[in-house]
Structure 1
């Protein structure tokens, strides 16, 4: 039997040894009793399994309790969590201060009561430090808790740590973490809880970025967030009484496992969806970052070129997405399942992660009941269990919807992609062109001839039709769009479409993104000039939720220009020297600073200078390496 553990917090060490006798034996060990793990432990114990739940904090529930996120954003209804939320409301009515959402402190009680009533063993303030392995199967875990070092065996392990931490220790392969460009993950938040008008409220804003797998970085993030000025007003008074800071940061993203089946944003937009879902996740691609110019091209096609940030998606998650590739008795529950960075902004909502935990427990139950590997659990027998509590609810599969406001999903219209040329033209001429722009992308290059005809026939009063048609052509890679995109850049076109309920992107810098995608060399001097003209950028955006001051407005033009220049230089190596001569001194100036606000506040600023510098340094080193390799080639 092998024992895997971390040394110095990062290096995984593997030691071989003889089989050991465990004093405690469980059917299922759930590591992490947060949003997903708490529901996993309760569900597995409900099915008669002997369950141990290990949690590093002193209560269950994760983001909805310790994280003080008391409301729900999107996510689809159904599942065990709904009855726990109802029990929480009943307990609250017995004399607790009422909460504008699901009462975080009372839900801790409801979860713990359920877990203990079902016979689960719960150990708080306990951190897993090692895993016992035989081949590709976990045999047990070691942890440190209030009673010192302990260990126990399990037949199935559910990693609900949110970071796939146990999977990482046992050697499971990771799909990655963060975006491809620089590994940066979604911004984190930290709520403060207060009583206002006799109700418990949470107040939060995003505070920046953190790699939570780096202990020093995480520590600094916790300290800075606790002292942020929004949490430290001059005084709290009778109208707003301070209760506490949330003891858990609002981490939105971490590691993703490489699963038996990976679900990506590219799959979803291409309609490559599983026919054997465990549950349906439901949300928009809720990217909280303002530096969307540094995201993948696909995400920018979606949210910048088509302004589809607010379009909601129902995503079926299959069995294989919860299984680390190659492992026999390990499941993952929570935001580290087998998805990708782009899709993670959609598949992370509390409702859905609670259902994910329930699904993992039901898979474990069926695998143990039938003596099977978790990979071989038959879906036709799993499906009735998922349907029983509504964890799987076919009515949740609503496809894509043009969501207008949170909490009113039933009134929103299901998106039907356009195929009628007449309808596409009509929509491109309007102020909500996004569905038509993406519809042309789905139709492919066969429609480009028609789009070019429309371009040639537009009159002076048909600006929307001309420019939106150019956007549609650019998404197809057609260079006929270039003159019209250049016009948008040169006029700093401030127009903001109304496709999405919020966070639509201004046409001027969206055109820069598309010119970079097309590799337009002629626009290079103008983009370099933009990056030197901070004082000329006055915020004209009508979308006040996305751009709140001049520096932030300039950052959009600056960041999109930078990335367009990099994409153009990738296709035209001859301009790399010119680009580096201008950009490197600009960003390496010690006084270089460029601020953006953090959602949803208009007051919390974050300096993007280091992010920009790191991107430029990485790209410069890459180009220099290619030159060196070419010079040394025989």
Structure 2
């Protein structure tokens, strides 16, 4: 056993990844003493160790831009060409910058205990192969990615989706030499699912991903030269802060008085099982067709502050936000920015003698403006929602929560129904509120075809059943048209209508859905497994309305589905390589059977309780708990929030 050593600093940054390095630099540049503790043997995180060495969306700050220029200069001396930034050059420059600013770096140090004084975090105990180290600090920053320090401190958190607890898909990018260009590139493919808070599941996922690499058809004749040393984890714990950021906030470009940064992204959820996602996600992607549309908003300081803990700031992708937002607000530039905000805030806490939850936000905002994280205009600007019609510019603010209540604007929205602009039109009709319902009903009565269907969809979002028969007809006729966009993530209109019928608890499609459970015609927009899950979730939603004389038929159809030998085998790792989502389909079907009084449903769930895959066990536990409590979760309620 090693005797415990001690170290005292003003700011302790735990995690030297994308956000952690920025946090340490920002705090040190403000003049406080900083220790950066990292469980691995290098800094930079996903960009240097996972191998995702390009930027995709996100907000860039002055510090990031300067660092990128310096990395590019070093890369020129290393030889060869690399897509994006050179990961080794970035490691070199990050370590140089940390050293120049007097940051103490601790590699191979794993956080094992949080030091608490009541609810206040005052330090962290680390173990390494060489020592046990107690680091005390005035402010601790959780830059672990998964919110490990917050969890150790007892802060409440959420994980994964509401339905099954599943987190965003992970990757393990191979780096290869492109034969024709002699340039180092990488392939950021999705392997499958992982519970990133479980060391054993991460180990399993690493082994699984490395096996898949050899079969990737995309690599062709290109030469594999390296594989990321750590998983490309896109989601972990989400710590509950004083404000939980939502995807709707991003879509509406929400303003917050305590803004400390702005994020910029799109709904970059790689999940192909849309039926398992939240109500809002199904509407945004499946009904509005806005998967690829750019979004972003103010990020409030409150999202950095855990609700029940002090002396600690959330400073990574474990920021206080819902699952939908976590799939999107995770890009490297945004995480650089998150770290810079937290480091600046920590230094101000030290220098002002305040705890994080008592920090004067205006003083922090002034510092962030000086650093180029915020602009002065960010403190007084008006929201400019992202979805517009007729090529209107966002800055014109023709499309806001206020303007869409005007009669002339609502008529303009009605005219767009049934056109390529139907998605944004339905969105704004939904956001118009109940005062647009009479106009929608008038349109429903006087129009036909796609415009009539669009009016029915908007009415359903507002909780009105007047257009139900129109939606049912679209499902029965299997309407295959769809809004423009990335085909894999924009389902056909009959699925959009089914999503809305599910919201209304409209059971008229019961017989049709039993047929669709068995009869599938996969397309680029709708894989067989995806159709199955949409049907199962619809049946779950209307389960209490199934006539007694139809129950046996429903149970038989579900059991026949479960007997299919290749059920769920068409879930794709990438564009060509298939794997299986059978586990999820089986448990979703089991939940339905249990609701219908079938003991077999519980048997299936029990079988997954000891599965080697943590994400499968998590789903089984979640569904069994829901069955025990008989509590209808948020994403299964009839009301649609607007």
Band of TM-score, shorter chain: 0.7 to 0.9
State the distance in 1 between where 2:388 and 2:104 align: 42
1:295 aligns with 2:277: yes
1:193 aligns with 2:167: no
Aligned to 2:35: 52
Residues 338 and 570 of structure 1: is their aligned pair in 2 closer, same or farther, counting only changes over 3 Å?
Answer: farther
Q: Is the 8 A contact 1:402 1:412 kept in 2?
A: no
The alpha-carbon deviation at position 394 of structure 1 amounts to 6.0
The alpha-carbon deviation at position 400 of structure 1 amounts to 3.6
Q: Which moved more, 1:228-237 or 1:351-360?
A: 228-237
The alpha-carbon deviation at position 215 of structure 1 amounts to 2.4
TM-score (norm 2): 0.85
1:567 aligns with 2:541: yes
Aligned to 2:348: 366
Deviation per CA, 1:284-330: give whole Å up to 9, x if none: 11111000111111111221111121222222111111111132210
**Paired residue for 1:139, among 122, 129, 140?**
122
Q: Secondary structure at the match of 1:366?
A: helix
Q: Is the 8 A contact 1:164 1:257 kept in 2?
A: yes
Aligned to 1:75: 58
1:455 aligns with 2:455: no
Deviation per CA, 1:153-181: give whole Å up to 9, x if none: 1111111111111111121111x111111
Q: Is the 8 A contact 2:115 2:123 kept in 1?
A: yes
**Paired residue for 1:401, among 386, 391, 395?**
386
The alpha-carbon deviation at position 619 of structure 1 amounts to 4.6
Coordinate RMSD, CA, aligned: 2.9
1:602 aligns with 2:575: yes
**Paired residue for 1:115, among 98, 104, 110?**
98
- Aligned length, in residue pairs: 587
Which residues in structure 2 correspond to 1:85-124 (within 5 Å)? 85-124=68-107
The alpha-carbon deviation at position 589 of structure 1 amounts to 2.0
Q: Which moved more, 1:272-281 or 1:486-495?
A: 272-281
State the distance in 1 between where 2:302 and 2:547 align: 42
**Paired residue for 2:497, among 486, 504, 511?**
511
State the distance in 2 between where 1:627 and 1:242 align: 48
The alpha-carbon deviation at position 412 of structure 1 amounts to 10
Residues 73 and 574 of structure 1: is their aligned pair in 2 closer, same or farther, counting only changes over 3 Å?
Answer: farther
Residues 578 and 80 of structure 1: is their aligned pair in 2 closer, same or farther, counting only changes over 3 Å?
Answer: farther
Aligned to 1:245: 227
The alpha-carbon deviation at position 207 of structure 1 amounts to 0.7
State the distance in 2 between where 1:306 and 1:189 align: 28
The alpha-carbon deviation at position 442 of structure 1 amounts to 0.7
Residues 231 and 402 of structure 1: is their aligned pair in 2 closer, same or farther, counting only changes over 3 Å?
Answer: farther
Runs of at least 5 residues in structure 1 that lack an aligned partner in the other structure: 1-19, 405-409
The alpha-carbon deviation at position 244 of structure 1 amounts to 0.3
**Paired residue for 1:557, among 522, 528, 531?**
531
1:263 aligns with 2:241: no
Deviation per CA, 1:14-45: give whole Å up to 9, x if none: xxxxxx99631111111111110111111112
The alpha-carbon deviation at position 470 of structure 1 amounts to 1.7
Aligned to 2:257: 275
Runs of at least 5 residues in structure 2 that lack an aligned partner in the other structure: 598-623, 631-642
TM-score (norm 1): 0.86
Q: Secondary structure at the match of 2:489?
A: coil
Aligned to 2:192: 208
The alpha-carbon deviation at position 516 of structure 1 amounts to 1.3
Q: Is the 8 A contact 2:4 2:131 kept in 1?
A: no
**Paired residue for 1:321, among 303, 306, 319?**
303
Aligned to 1:615: 588
State the distance in 2 between where 1:497 and 1:579 align: 35
State the distance in 2 between where 1:627 and 1:283 align: 36
Q: Is the 8 A contact 1:309 1:502 kept in 2?
A: no
1:341 aligns with 2:323: yes
State the distance in 1 between where 2:217 and 2:473 align: 47
The alpha-carbon deviation at position 70 of structure 1 amounts to 1.3
Q: Secondary structure at the match of 1:207?
A: strand
Aligned to 1:581: 555
Q: Is the 8 A contact 1:127 1:143 kept in 2?
A: yes
Q: Is the 8 A contact 1:304 1:504 kept in 2?
A: yes
